Chain A
Amino acid sequence: MNDGLTNINIRDILNYKLHITVLVIFLISTYIGVIRFSLFDTITIIILPLVFSLFLSLFAYTSKRIEWIQKKESQTATLIFTVIICPLIAKLAIVSGANIHLLYQTGPLLILEELGDILCVLVAMPIAILLGFRRKSVGMASSICREPQMAVIINRYGADSEEMKGLMIVYSIGIVLGTVFMSLIVNIMSYLLPLHPYAYAIACAIGSTSMNVAGLSALCVLYPDISNQLMAFSAIANLISVLLSVYIFMFILLPLAERIYSFLEGYQ
């Protein structure tokens, strides 16, 4: 699992300067908290503390003043990152276990909603390959590129693989622009393709908390009378997504992306 990172030893991991820097960044980001503001009238833009955290730590790496965060620390951070995704997965698993009654109350058919992610692979995979991303395409366009999928990609291809770099591109851009994109897409699609708002509320459980909240807020602004039902549907769909997204990704989306990749690369 950590093949490329064997040069990291326990002394690197116990490097307290790295962890204190992270702690300070974490506290600043938490202190700033959730920022929300409206663009025009319907587009709510939400910025979560994790966005600040990402930018502050990137700044810490690039800043000349913070000289104790260098390439070695960056490599250590890659290893740490690989391991600390696990407690996040454990947390989500516990939430879904505790709410298992919601899953069977709403009917097992709602599980099918997860298969909608296939459209993501069908649309985004050819675009990524056309734009010349090669092997990176598999990491980029096979899913919404959040932590669960990241863990699968790290496990299957390695933390320093092309696929992982591809995933990190969409992951990072998703963090920065995902909420903005979600607000826009939710707003525009409600006019272009008027499905039932419940359907869109379920679809908002896209697999990313910040994007889910951003999309749902936009939807609730569009349909204020049924906002409670929209939130309920979205929460249930989010649970299903948490529970199943890893499996759908591993057994359906990733193999499909590999197929499309070998098919399209064969043509070039």
Chain B
Amino acid sequence: MTETISSKVLIEWIGILVIFSIISAIGNVIGYHYPFMESLVGMLILCGISLAGLIIETYTPWDIPSILYISILGLLLALPISPVSDFIIYYTTRVELISLTTVLLAYAGISMGKDLGDFKKVGVKGVVVTFFVIFGTYVGSALIAQFVLMYTGMI
């Protein structure tokens, strides 16, 4: 079932993305010495792709998250055969991933603040699960990588 996006949601998305672009661009100037306008253009490209993904998600009937559309859109636009790849790659490399993550986590911390009470309760148990999540992912990937490297004769 398709649904229409209310103008309220659309304005919210655009508002958030514009604010995020400006904050990130300022940080990229101060922290990584990229020209402000180049970082801003890079951010606006990323936000344009995001907005397109969010809108596609709302208008398609399948239960597929927007990040999938965003991933595919970003990938296709940056492929060597894409006519806009040079433009897109140039400006988006003016945006450091680490700076985006740093802004994301600033909002994440404020967002987590209201759930801090719940968080304290899980304490040590949460640490145990986290350890085994990392351990399992690492060892599982290493075992398969070992097999693949041996199979392809690389080692």
Question: A residues engaging B (CB < 8 A)?
Answer: 1-2, 8-10, 13-14, 18-19, 21-23, 25-27, 29-31, 33, 48-50, 53-62, 69, 71, 73-75, 77-81, 83-98, 100-101, 107, 109-110, 112-124, 127-128, 131-133, 137, 140-141, 143-145, 147-148, 151-152, 155-156, 165, 168-170, 172-175, 177-178, 181-182, 185-186, 189, 193, 195-196, 198-200, 202-207, 209, 211, 215, 237, 243, 246-247, 250
Contact = CB atoms under 8 A, between A and B. Distances in A.
Contact of B118 (A87, A89, A165, A196): A165
B1 interface: no
Choose among A91, A121, A133 the residue with the greatest number of B CB atoms under 10 Å from its CB: A91
Given A79-B16, A87-B47, A196-B146, A204 B126 contact: no
A164 B49 CA distance: 25
B139 A119 contact: yes
Interface of B: 8-9, 11-13, 15-17, 19-20, 23, 26-27, 30-32, 43, 45-47, 49-50, 53-54, 57, 65-68, 70-80, 82, 85, 88-89, 92, 95, 97-116, 118-119, 122, 125-149, 151-152, 154-155
Given A86-B50, A93-B72, A185-B135, A113 B113 contact: no
Contacts, number: 399
Given A94-B78, A116-B140, A69 B110 contact: yes
Given A57-B105, A77-B111, A185-B134, A202 B141 contact: yes
Contacts of A178: 130, 134
A29 B30 CA distance: 12
Given A30-B102, A113-B145, A169-B126, A198 B155 contact: yes
Contacts of B115: 165, 168
A172 B122 CA distance: 12
B141 A203 contact: yes
Given A27-B30, A119-B143, A133-B129, A75 B114 contact: yes
B100 to A, nearest CB: 5
B92 A94 contact: yes
Given A83-B17, A113-B148, A119-B143, 6 more contacts: A13-B19, A85-B67, A117-B140, A118-B140, A133-B125, A243-B71
Given A60-B109, A112-B148, A189 B138 contact: yes
B72 to A, nearest CB: 7
9 contacts: A54-B106, A77-B110, A84-B100, A93-B73, A116-B144, A117-B141, A118-B140, A168-B119, A170-B133
